[in-house]
Amino acid sequence: MSIKYLAFTLASCALFLTDVAAKELTFTINNIKEGQGKIYVQLFKGENNYRLGKPHSVAIATSDAKETTLVFNDLTEGDYALRYFHDQNDNGKMDVNLMGAPQEGYGFSNNAKPSYGPVKFADAKFSISADKITNTSDVIYGE
């Protein structure tokens, strides 16, 4: 094997690795009712996964402050959306009333708000292409 061939192969690998470098998402949730339960967060890649409820990644945060920040690492480029709920009574599920409306806090990326039904992917969608991206949301409490 020649040195030129080896150098070319290594340079090609370096270019490939640069193109698929992992991205980072920092997501901040604001206006949390402190000291009650946990916050369950789902990160979806692509509209189909969002509609089917198949998260790319999940996280659980504490609710001991008015704001919490989560960091998702090793993401690839693409369209993503986040949704979460504040499990205030710590029973591991989102409580809803007889009509199906949430009785606990919830929210979406881009601070998207529901309008007579679930938030659409297009409203919560953000694209990851830069190495680091940030997104924020305020918890919706339906009291």
User: What mean pLDDT do residues 4-12 have?
Assistant: 47
Q: Is 115 left (phi over 0), alpha (psi -120 to 50) or beta?
A: beta
Is 113 among the domain residues?
yes
The whole-number pLDDT of residue 6 equals 43
User: Based on the structure, what is the number of domains in the chain?
Assistant: 1
Categorize the per-residue pLDDT at 7 as very low, low, confident or very high, splitting at 50, 70 and 90: very low
Is 7 among the domain residues?
no
How many CB atoms neighbour CB 85 within 10 A? 21
Number of alpha helices (DSSP H) and beta strands (DSSP E) in the chain? 3, 8
pLDDT tens track for 70-126: 999 999 999 999 999 999 999 999 999 998 889 999 999 999 999 888 899 999 999
Is 12 among the domain residues?
no
Range of the domain at 128: 23-138
In sequence order, the β-bridge partners of residue 134 are 26
As a whole number of angstroms, the distance between CA 30 and CA 140 comes to 10
Categorize the per-residue pLDDT at 58 as very low, low, confident or very high, splitting at 50, 70 and 90: very high
Q: What CATH number does the domain containing 114 carry?
A: 2.60.40
